[in-house]
Amino acid sequence: MTVQFSSQAIAALSASPLRVQRDPGRERVRLLEIGDARLQTGLNVAPPLQDWQTITLGTYKGADAYRDVMDAAGIKIRDSANEILGRPDFPYAMVKTEVELALLSISELGVESESSLSEVYKRAQHVGLGLCPPEVGPQLRLHYRNQPVGEALNIAMKPIATYGGDPTILALVNFGSGLALEGVDGRSEFMVIRTSRFVFAFPTKRALTPIEMPIQTKRGTGSCPDCGTRVIAAPCRTCSGTGRSLGLFRCRGCNGEGEKTVCPNFLTHMRAQFASPSLAANHAATT
């Protein structure tokens, strides 16, 4: 079941000033580039925006790998968050890539009163920020260990449906019982109060570094409908190429075949999705 925070609870948790956490010895501010000129208008904070955190996606291969490492670290994964981590629509990076993140309350985005989640996303896009790849949720949860008690940070991401069909986004929370990855209401009409804080992604142009796949990829048939590149057959991220779920059942993500066809330029398409959330997510796993 997706957890919904009451307005009073969120207001109490978010009343403190914006905290900017930096890695030890790291004092870096993202300078505005020519293409980021639109970041200079419409904000209630002075540009340049601060690069709050930089994380690397593609370090862990799939949902089970994240579950294992968070369990070993004593980080809790709540039910709805755990569900969407394993959903076929939840993409995991096939190559290592850095993502630069910004942390803003919706009031700092220029929103003067509570607003729907869809309007918050539109506002962020207007000032040059983008949605995070869903994998930012579990990776940032592992990275952000010094979260203050009482803080809740929402990941601005495309909602993923639970098995019950509830649109869900991820949140990093510390309510006093330890660090946790939570699933929260991701409906476009869900109303968000102005003190709520979201993690957004900066547009990125960083080069991608290939990482070793669990099994060797081979050429598939057909081509990508968007870029025309010939697709390849790659290990299914849901079952890590085994074709089985829980060791007993046929994987629903790949129908037991252990692999799917995917565009080699998948991460390039996913990065483009930051600036255009309407792009289809079929590059995460096609056919």
**Is residue 99 within 8 Å of 51, Cβ to Cβ?**
no
Region of 219 please: left (phi>0), alpha (psi -120 to 50) or beta.
Answer: beta
| Res 1: pLDDT | 43
pLDDT band at 219 (very low <50, low <70, confident <90, very high): very low
Task: Please state whether beta strands 167-174 and 115-116 pair in parallel, antiparallel, or not at all (unpaired).
Answer: unpaired
Query: What CA–CA distance (Å, rounded) separates 135 from 93?
Result: 8
Mean pLDDT of the 223-232 span: 70
- Taking CA atoms, 242 is separated from 140, 157, 169, in Å, by 27, 28, 28
**Is residue 202 within 8 Å of 100, Cβ to Cβ?**
yes
Is the pTM higher than 0.95? The answer reads no
pLDDT exceeds 90 at position 38: no
Mean pLDDT of the 31-43 span: 42
Mean pLDDT of the 61-85 span: 96
pLDDT exceeds 60 at position 16: no
pLDDT exceeds 80 at position 172: yes
pLDDT exceeds 60 at position 9: no
Instruction: Identify the residue with better confidence: 135 or 240.
Output: 135
pLDDT exceeds 60 at position 10: no
Site of tokens 């449906």: 161
